[in-house]
Structure 1
Amino acid sequence: MRTLHFTTLLFLLAGECLVHALTVTPVVTLQDVTALRAQNNYYSSGYAAVMILSSQYAGEKAGGLFVAQGKTGQADDGGVYIVDAASVVWERSFSGPVSVLWYGADPTGATASTTAFNQTINYAMANNADVVVPSGHYVLDQGLQLPSKISMNGEGAVTLDFAQLMTGAAITIGEVDSYYYNAGFPLVDIFQQGKLSNMLIIGGNVTTGIFLNGQSTTEQYATPFYTLEKLDIKFFNIGVMIGQQTWLNGLFSCAIQQYSRYGLYISNAANEGEDISIYNSAIFNANNANAIGAYIARGSSISGDVNFYGTSFDYNGGPGLVVASGQARFFGCHFEGDLSVSVESKGYAEFFGCWFRMDYGFDITGGQTNFFGGYLPTTNTMNVTSGTTVNIVDRQT
């Protein structure tokens, strides 16, 4: 143990936000929070703060400065608030996002990190903070519920491993902390939009990877306004499920692959009126005759669009795209694989400058389908049900 002074710590913690007045000098340096919890006289001896040098996982970013708050009654939450043997509360001094490592997440994957992730999310939710996940392999044996107002962002190579999860969803977004409105469309800046980014998310092939759902049982409107960015989602029954009353800002540069039923499933009539956008992503599977790349079923209304920009559908087995109902538009997308793009009786699909390379063409059984420009092969002609509207303008072959 050694004693420092706040003037020294100011140089050590350049860029950190010290949230308490620097009026008392003594600072104790300890190895970990376990040593802090064991103390019973630091505060009474006049120490103002404790510097933790390391943590359970040496070399990670879980150390830091803890400032004495007195006997406030605040519970020890394992990451931001530590309570010593004399019931004195020590609060972590920090600015920016909250790290899962502070709460004991194991970046080696040797032990499950579910409790640590949930504790981090709970603190972030209560304090309007975001969550950061440092590089590592994290095993999670239960699903996570992520409020719509916070972001969870990975640093470097991050794997969230849900292989032990056999039911439910790996990550559910929007149900826990949605903002509800009884009428009208609320301002965007009220949403406190969240983001999930920079992670590999893997599962056991019988669960849903990411489930966005803002449906409330008591109110009419919910607002999980979310962005999914740079995610690699593997080995799930459904890669991404977009449920009721959800506005998806964008799915950017994501890969949804090797699913057993659906890569992307967009549901249902309650979604009508809200637009959903997918950008520069890839939806593909490997030799699964029962799998569908993207399935769109938004009801009979066409008031809300599903827009795909620069997205690749590569499917060997089941169809890459099914527009069962609702309105979908595709801009500069790429379709390649074995089976058809299917547009059903209540579907409305428009393709702008898209490129198609498929063995069996299209199965258009109803609704309306429009092709504007792009590459559309002449072989394996479309299967078009009588009375169905298909418009082709400026096709390249």
Structure 2
Amino acid sequence: MAISFACSEDDEPDPITTEPEGQNVVDVASSNDDFSTLVSAVVEADLAETLSGPGPFTVFAPNNDAFSRFLEENNLTAEQLLGNENLAEILTYHVVPGEIPSSAVEAGAVNSVANSTFYISVAPDNSIWINGNTRIIDTDIDASNGIIHVLDNVITAPEYSIAEIALAATESSEPEFTQLVAALSRAELVEAVSGGSGDNLTVFAPTDAAFEDLYDVLGVTGVDEIPLELLTSVLEYHVVPARAFSQDLRQGNDLPTLLNGQTLSVDLENLQINESGLIATSLNIHATNGVIHAIDRVLLPAMGEEVSATITLDNVGASAYVISSINGEGASGELDVENAAITLQAGLRYTFVNDGGSAHPLDFRDSEGNILLAQGDQEGSFEGDSEVAFEVDGANVSFTLTNGLAEELAVYRCTAHPSMEGEIIITD
């Protein structure tokens, strides 16, 4: 697959001309001042002779600016880098056996001479990235024993799994992901996000603030109060079984998740996954077994199979509803009594089955008569709330009774016949 390598006008590098025939990759780098740090590192690591050999090699070469960026981001000096006992391994992570011109570069995993894998991504603008944080800014510099592509950063192989990175974040000076780690532990999913390069996962990781917002919605104080089955489903909904860096995402894509049959929607224009915002400063956290993207809201899957109780209503002409049955937990009311009060519990999901038919569309209102949810043509104020997850399927009306909805919900009523109205009582 032919790929063009795009740069912005602001950071387009000076053109590097093809070197004369007969110069190997070390000679080519040595003849260009922009690679002086790389050459010093190659010499210090005793790799000059190897990279001057017959090859062929493809070298992904950080320029001096790339090394400066890497040193600053990792709080290192040049002397510390050159004295690193793993310097040879760091450098050979940038070298691939064989000659790979830009026309042959494709998205996917690449095994380096260091026997560690790095990952190439093609962004929507056709720019090429490695491990989500390093861009190829120039290509196809020929040498007698291979070819050089220029990088704007130094690439390093990940050392820790997703689980280990999240745990380390909880112990940092500014702790993060404490609630995510607690949730994974309670749901016994820590092992599922641990592993090596063979386990390709992407975790959309809610911040602690995102979990606190979820607790408010569910009316709980922490992960220990969330039903285990629900908690497990929510966590699985945040994991995609593929290593997807931000540059791999595409507008409108549906990403499969570990929660069977449930997908996530990508909105690059608004930097969102479903209704949750991607945190731009915390993307592409690379792990041995995948990648982490931080998000600002806990993603809730469609809850159609998580109904706590089903309330079936029938009608007495156009004068009253009656409850014909209640199945499940978290709901109560007298059966066969006209316009009986129904008691519901905040934080649970309910389905109302309206056997009164289309002539008696069901809605739910506040104490002032404003429609919150409606089965028919009326539009309620909570119908667009993703956490309420309002659904109408024929006679079935389903919703999650969030704290926000519970604070306003007062009655159920027939939209066409106001006399068909009963009280709704909310309990914790």
Question: Normalising to structure 1: TM-score of the pair?
Answer: 0.27
Q: Identify the structure with the greater helix proportion.
A: 2
Q: Identify the structure with the greater strand proportion.
A: 1
Structure possessing the higher relative contact order (Cα contacts under 8 Å, 6 or more residues apart): 2
